[in-house]
Structure 1
Amino acid sequence: MQSIIFCGIQGSGKSTFYKERFFDTHLRINLDQLRTRNREKLLLDVCLRTQMRFVVDNTNSTILERSRYIELARAAKYEIIGYFFESSTAAALARNNRRIGRFKVPEKGIFGTQKHLQVPTMKEGYDQLYRVQLLPSGSYEVHPVEEMPLD
């Protein structure tokens, strides 16, 4: 049983990464699709009860937001894997500007998420944690958190 939790600002490549890497193996839990926290909770509960693999594909920008998924998954004896999507605000805005309709996020939303973003750490309860960068070519570079440079 595997729980994957994405973290990153809008436009950092999370949903595309899900489609490329986890679409065939993990159910996607995403507020953009579900629209309410109640629906999200119901779907998450079903996953936990049925031992289904899932990916939480939201910004999950704070430790508090991520902690509720981690606590529920840990209680259900899931392996917990985190992916932190590193992106500059400028790059995220450029990708967002290529979106259309309801998929385009207001710029103030991206700036707001960036302002409150807390970089995930192993101390939060992950079994594995990775940082992900979306390259200009459209491919991804993924590194274990231990390879993150110290500031």
Structure 2
Amino acid sequence: MVGLQGAGKTTWVAEHLAGTHVVVSKDHWPNARHREARQRRVVAGLLAEGASVVVDNTDPSPAERAALVELAVAAGVPARAVFLDVPLETCRRRNEARSGRARVPDVGLFSTAARLVPPSTAEGFADVRVVRG
């Protein structure tokens, strides 16, 4: 999954992939140290077991997605990207409606937007699906 906070990634995953894929998200471990490394270990382990995995994070840049693509390649499975292409203002409004830890400070949302590069097959993805919202 690729998209800004508030783009609807978690909802899209719940509606389209949760029944067939194991969902991995760094949000599942809000207080964990080294969440990135933990995510890589969990994804690698699930792929080694033959599970279909969906990673539900923002993953806005090719550099931030590279490790996940490498894990899929190492496991011999295609990496696929789903990009939720949702305007920043829509994401900001949705984020404002959130409460507690679910609400991301505006600076975090704007920082992610500044790094956002749509995924492409040039990164190693077998295919890229764009969902506009």
Aligned to 2:107: 108
Unaligned residue ranges in structure 1 (runs of 5+): 1-5, 135-151
Tell me the SS of whatever aligns to 1:7. Answer: coil
Q: What residue in structure 2 maps to residue 28 of structure 1?
A: 23
Q: CA deviation at 1:133?
A: 1.8
| Corresponding residue SS for 1:84 | strand
Aligned residues: 129
For 1:70 and 1:38, locate their aligned partners in 2 and report how far apart those are by CA, in whole Å.
15
TM-score (norm 2): 0.91
Report the counterpart of residue 82 of structure 1 in structure 2: 81
- 8 Å CA contact retained: 2:26, 2:36: yes
User: RMSD of the alignment, in Å?
Assistant: 1.1
Which one-letter code corresponds to 1:13 in the other structure?
G
**Cα contact 1:73–1:80 (8 A) shared by 2:** yes
* TM-score when normalising by structure 1: 0.81
Give the distance between the partners of 2:74 and 2:64, measured in 1 at CA.
Answer: 17
- Specify the SS of the correspondent of 2:42: helix
Task: State the partner residue of 2:4.
Answer: 9
2:3 counterpart letter in structure 1: G
Q: Aligned partner of 2:114: which letter?
A: K
Aligned to 1:79, what secondary structure does the other structure show?
A: coil
**CA displacement at 1:38 relative to structure 2:** 3.3
The sequence identity of aligned pairs, in percent, is: 31
Of residues 13, 19, 31 in structure 1, which corresponds to 2:14? 19
Determine helix, strand or coil for the equivalent of 1:60. Answer: coil
Question: Residues 59-101 of structure 1: CA distance to partner in whole angstroms, max 9, x if unpaired?
Answer: 1011011111101101111121111111111100111111111
- 5 Å-filtered alignment, 1:1-150, equals 6-35=1-30, 36-134=35-133
| 1:92-123, Cα deviation, whole Å (9 max, x unpaired) | 01111111111111111110000011111111
Q: Which structure carries more strand by proportion?
A: 1
Question: For structure 2, which runs of at least 5 residues remain unmatched after alignment?
Answer: none
Hey, what's the Cα distance between the residues in 1 that align with 2:46 and 2:64? 18
Cα offset, 1:126, TM superposition: 1.2
Cα deviation, 1:12-45, whole Å, max 9, x if unaligned, reads: 0100000111111111111111232233123112
The structure with higher relative contact order (CA 8 Å, sep 6+) is: 2
The 10-residue stretch of structure 1 (34-43 or 48-57) with the greater mean CA deviation from structure 2: 34-43
Does structure 1 retain, via aligned residues, the 8 Å contact 2:40–2:68?
Answer: no
